[in-house]
Structure 1
Amino acid sequence: MFLFPYFNIHSTPLLVLVIQALVLVGLLLKRYAEKKNASDAILAILLLIVSYTQICYTVGFMGWYDTFRNTKINYFLIPAGTAIAPLIYFYVKSVTKSNFKFLKQHWWHFAIPLSIVVYRLTIYTYDALQPGFNETQNGILKIELDEPFVLPILSIVGFSVMLLYLAFTIQLYVNYRQKIKQYFSNIFKLELNWIRNFLIVFTILFLYSSIQDFIGSVLVDLGYDERWWLNLCMAICAIYIGLKGYFTDTTKLNKLDFSFSPERISIPEASKDSKKEVENTAIQAIEALMQHEKPYLNPDLNLSELAKQANLTRGQLSEIINTGFQMNFNDFVNSYRVNAFKGMLKEGKHKQLSLLGIAYECGFNSKATFNRVFKKLTNFSPTQYLQSLAG
């Protein structure tokens, strides 16, 4: 038995990582106090809960529980997944929803973890009133009620809650990625690949934890050392999430409302032929605007700006593009940019500028977006297309 504090290969890495995670929690809370970004507060609380579970394991590996045998830590090892799951959901929602605010009704998402905290405090209070409690680690309710009956139930509840919230959050993110294509012409800076990585990290941790719990409860008893690897992974992931969350701008949509529904152009009572004629006129007007005014050359062009130029509402313009051109807004605008790029190549512009330089002149704002869009719309890379012209 080693006396606390015992620094070893298990405790030292966790200690260093946990301290760094807590520093990031402090930085996020400081920025929240200054700028009031909900995403900073939610991520800080998420990291704090993850760090709390790591602290419990860290001091264990440092010999605390061996040195102080009557520590009541088992009462306060709350199943963290029931709180982490809704925090993951609200963090992604706070980043992908413009002007997000945490409302009173959102507290219902935390009913389970809050109930667990109240339950644990209740059995702790009861056990603390029993004689001899100070000389033992666990009291009568912890031994006879919590461990044999409640903990197995909480394990199932925690698994179910995390699975459901991860599914909801992934759906939320996928819907966001589809939505921005209906509003923005350049989406590279708004794709939020950081959020994709954030969800991948927690999905992997969830799978790892679930497999470990299954093995530990069904196949073979896993000791403290065997469970160390999961805690190390969680600590490393906490640092990654904290750093990326702090240094990534997650406020891009704060002052922008791109919530709208496609709507038909209002047409008085008329025949189908008349309606078709009006729709064709609207399509031709949009084509003329794109060809003569060339709004697509503006890399920041979005649905609102183009709708103003076309004297339409956002919903009307979206409906025309979706039904008349069979495209979303992003593909519609970028198709003009690709055609402009092709025209410049035929004019020999590549002899004066790089392909990327030409792409920027045509309204693209990133190399990754340009290459991906060009390949999607032409089935050629820009270089292959240029070679085909030369051939």
Structure 2
Amino acid sequence: MVFNFNLKSTLLFVFFFHGLVYTVLLLLKGLLKENKSNIWLSALVFLSTLYIVPFMCGYAGWYGRNPYREFLFYFPFQQLFLLPPVLYFYTKSLLDTSFSFSKKDYLHFLPASLYLVNTLFVWLVDKIVLQNNYFHQDGRDKDFAGWYQALGFLSMFFYLILSLRIYNRYKTLTYQTVSFADKILFAWVKQFLSAMLILVVLRTLFFVLNPEWNNFGNKFWYYLCFSILFYYISISGYSNYFQSVTGLNHSNLFYEGQDDTQQQNATDGPDTKAQLNAVDTKEFELLKTEIERAMIIDHLFKNPELTLTDLANHLGMQSKRVSQIINQGFGLNFNDFVNHYRTQEVIRILQSDKPSLITLLGIALDSGFNSKSTFNRAFKKYTSLTPKAYLEKIKQQNGIKS
């Protein structure tokens, strides 16, 4: 087998080899742990590995020799209609506990299926029927046709937007239902989607800088950047384990078609607005008082894993009703509402004689915060000062030297 190991082909070969390794590792991890997201990521990494094959082999001289040339021309390595929906379903399987692949989801793979049928048709006509390179008489790989590359780019952009919307919905739902949102917002998903966004931006730049996409040109740098990004995704995705605590289907607080503003005040029933209007002002204020009492008197905020369901069960109310009252009565989501009381508790202790005996982190943990970073963010949000700066301010007011 002739393979020219020059700088370009060797670099891409390294990423190709590791891509295959991580494809197998992620697939095995997904099957053994019954984790759907790892299986989807395995497919994503495999498609990304195939994506760089034509250029790896091209720089190795395969496009200039047979039978390599014939194989590269007729095998659809660049699955530009398949990779984007796989990206989307990977994101969805990560963030939605209710996700289950349904029959209608197959529609997302219709363009990729049609392209595969077209590829098979071209091969049959050229190699079986005519036994002549009729469709490839121009000597160019159809995977690099301008229309296919352009539509593939638009498909990636479209599904990236869908994935970002799912992440935003997940964040909104998390802030509405748990008091420890910062702990489970899962930075890996944000990093993953950021990497895909960088990829789309790079693709745009290279389209502009090198519009002759069916020629090799200077595309090596794009494929090298692509390889580095998908290698990062492979390693990080394999090492990061995450289990969502939310389901994003219709049984939860939000609908897929709603924007972020609607989501802040939405609930899990179609008659939400009618139910809320049915609550008169007097009853609404009484319910607000009951919720405040659960925080101030019963100190529910001190539970570091307090959820909307926990509060609703304590009050003997429906979760959606509690969510409505917190959203509209206090102008806050559930996470910020609980952290507000935790912050007030920290301030109360700081203004007492106890700070000299307890560390700031100790006070925060006793008040219901589950991490130092969450405590610092929440405290600064409500006081515009860091905990240390606030403590120094109190000491100065009391004439105490640091």
Letter in 1 for 2:40: I
Q: Does 1:186 align with 2:177?
A: no
Partner residue of 1:152? Answer: 146
User: Residues 80 and 152 of structure 2 are in contact (CA less than 8 Å); yes or no, is this contact kept in structure 1?
Assistant: yes
Q: Does 1:224 align with 2:216?
A: yes
Letter in 2 for 1:328: N
Q: Does 1:345 align with 2:350?
A: yes
CA shift digits 1:152-208 (9 cap, x unpaired):
322332122122212222122112211211001011222122111111111111221
Q: Which moved more, 1:12-21 or 1:198-207?
A: 12-21
In the TM superposition, what are the counterparts of 1:76-155 in structure 2 within 5 Å? 76-129=75-128, 133=132, 139-143=133-137, 151-155=145-149
| 1:307–1:7 distance in 2 versus 1, CA, 3 Å | same
Q: Does 1:294 align with 2:299?
A: yes
Q: TM-score, normalised by structure 2?
A: 0.86
Q: Distance in 1 between matches of 2:201 and 2:101?
A: 29
Q: Distance in 2 between matches of 1:289 and 1:278?
A: 17
CA shift digits 1:302-329 (9 cap, x unpaired):
1011111111111011011111111110
Q: Distance in 2 between matches of 1:277 and 1:322?
A: 17
State the Cα distance separating 1:146 from its structure 2 match: 8.4
User: Residues 216 and 222 of structure 1 are in contact (CA less than 8 Å); yes or no, is this contact kept in structure 2?
Assistant: no
Match of 1:72, SS state, is helix
User: Residues 97 and 245 of structure 2 are in contact (CA less than 8 Å); yes or no, is this contact kept in structure 1?
Assistant: yes
User: Residues 78 and 116 of structure 1 are in contact (CA less than 8 Å); yes or no, is this contact kept in structure 2?
Assistant: no
User: Residues 303 and 314 of structure 1 are in contact (CA less than 8 Å); yes or no, is this contact kept in structure 2?
Assistant: yes
Match of 1:140, SS state, is coil
Letter in 2 for 1:241: I
User: Residues 302 and 367 of structure 2 are in contact (CA less than 8 Å); yes or no, is this contact kept in structure 1?
Assistant: yes
CA shift digits 1:74-102 (9 cap, x unpaired):
22245433212111111111111123111
| 1:384–1:195 distance in 2 versus 1, CA, 3 Å | same
Q: Does 1:234 align with 2:226?
A: yes
Q: 2:163 aligns with which of 169, 182, 195?
A: 169
Q: Distance in 1 between matches of 2:306 and 2:122?
A: 60
Q: Note the aligned Cα RMSD (angstroms).
A: 2.8
Q: How many residues align?
A: 378
User: Residues 188 and 366 of structure 1 are in contact (CA less than 8 Å); yes or no, is this contact kept in structure 2?
Assistant: no
Q: Distance in 2 between matches of 1:63 and 1:254?
A: 50
Q: Does 1:41 align with 2:39?
A: yes
State the Cα distance separating 1:301 from its structure 2 match: 0.6
Partner residue of 2:263? Answer: none
Q: Which residues of structure 2 form unaligned runs of 5+?
A: 254-266, 397-402
Q: 2:240 aligns with which of 248, 267, 277?
A: 248
Letter in 1 for 2:194: I
Letter in 2 for 1:228: F
User: Residues 53 and 77 of structure 1 are in contact (CA less than 8 Å); yes or no, is this contact kept in structure 2?
Assistant: no
Q: Which residues of structure 1 form unaligned runs of 5+?
A: 134-138
Q: Does 1:365 align with 2:370?
A: yes
Q: 1:259 aligns with which of 224, 228, 252?
A: 252
| 1:306–1:113 distance in 2 versus 1, CA, 3 Å | same
Letter in 1 for 2:223: N
Q: Does 1:381 align with 2:386?
A: yes
Partner residue of 1:303? Answer: 308
Q: Which moved more, 1:72-81 or 1:350-359?
A: 72-81
User: Residues 6 and 62 of structure 1 are in contact (CA less than 8 Å); yes or no, is this contact kept in structure 2?
Assistant: yes
Q: Distance in 2 between matches of 1:381 and 1:188?
A: 17
Q: Distance in 1 between matches of 2:61 and 2:140?
A: 25
Partner residue of 1:32? Answer: 30
| 1:201–1:256 distance in 2 versus 1, CA, 3 Å | closer
- Bigger relative CO (Cα 8 Å, ≥ 6 apart): 1
State the Cα distance separating 1:62 from its structure 2 match: 2.7
Percent identity of paired positions between Structure 1 and Structure 2: 28
| 1:70–1:387 distance in 2 versus 1, CA, 3 Å | closer
Partner residue of 2:198? Answer: 204
